Amino acid sequence: MPVISPVPAARPARIPSQRDGADDTVAAGTTVDHLTETYRTHYRSLLGLAALLLDDTASCEDVVQEAFIRVHSARKRVRDPEKTLAYLRQTVVNLSRSALRRRILGLKLLSKPMPDMASAEEGAYDQLERDSLIKAMKGLQRRQREVLVLRYFADMTEAQVAEALGISLGSVKAYGSRGIAALRVAMEAAA
């Protein structure tokens, strides 16, 4: 199998000092001045390109700024300064794609809210109802309150309530009926 040897990279042209004075040869790659001028001239057009790919202004500005930072750090690799704008455009497109990918992934990873989850307003309303129910329950006679709590909150049958309280089944029904009627009146008055 043949061995492939890497081609040595071309050496950048020598930057003459002012003492040499003979030649105005510029080093290979984009200069900081050229990149600054490109920034001033094409910032809005690159922002518009990002706006076509992304939906919010802040993300567009971030993408364009990041593109300039990346091209600035790799400016020595841009052999032809005239291609700086093309590099910037491609970097803006690539960074926009990455931003969209991150958003899609974030949306997939977000936990979905439970469909029967109550809103904060519903929770507050339920708390108010509970408070008025407790207040109305405290206004009942002791036996009525005991029967209703055992029957509806402890989920006991009428026979179990009668046995627990040591009263007849008919008394459980009477206390329960009168207690519910008194609760209805108290809750309507509170509303």
**What pLDDT sits at residue 144?**
93
N-to-C CA span, the chain: 91
The verdict on 86 and 132 lying in the same domain is no
**Tens digit of each residue's pLDDT (9 = 90 or more) over 94-103:** 999 999 898 8
pLDDT (tens digit per residue) in 40-61: 899 999 998 998 888 888 899 9
Q: Looking at the 3D structure of the chain, how many domains does it have?
A: 2
User: Do 70 and 96 belong together in one domain?
Assistant: yes
pLDDT of residue 115: 64
CATH number for the domain spanning 137: value is 1.10.10.10
The backbone torsions φ and ψ at residue 117, rounded to the nearest 5 degrees and listed phi first, read -70, 130
Q: Which residue has the tokens 């930057």?
A: 15
Residue from 186, 185, 180 nearest 144 by CA: 180
Average pLDDT over residues 26-33: 66
pLDDT of amino acid 57: 87
**Contact call for residues 91 and 38 (beta carbons, < 8 A):** no
